[in-house]
Homo-oligomer: A and B are copies of this chain.
Amino acid sequence: MTSFLRKPPSVQTAAGVIITATAVVVVVGGIAMRLLDHKEYSNIWVGMWWALQTVTTVGYGDVTPARWSGRIVATLVMLEGIAFLTVTIAAVTSVFVARAEAERDAADAVEEDKEEDRIGARLDSLDERLERVEGMLRKLTS
| Residues of A near any B CB (own CB < 8 A) | 1-2, 4-5, 8, 10-12, 14-16, 19, 45, 49, 52-54, 56-62, 64, 68, 71, 75, 78-79, 81-82, 85-102, 104-105, 108-109, 111-112, 115-116, 118-120, 122-123, 125-127, 129-134, 136-141
A8:B141 contact, CB within 8 angstroms: no
Bound form: Cα–Cα A91–B96 in Å: 7
A120:B122 contact, CB within 8 angstroms: yes
B88:A82 contact, CB within 8 angstroms: yes
Picked from B75, B86, B90, B125, the residue with its CB within 8 Å of the CB of A52 is: B75
Nearest B residue to A84, CB-CB: B82
- Shortest distance from the beta carbon of A61 to any chain B beta carbon, whole Å: 4
- Shortest distance from the beta carbon of A16 to any chain B beta carbon, whole Å: 8
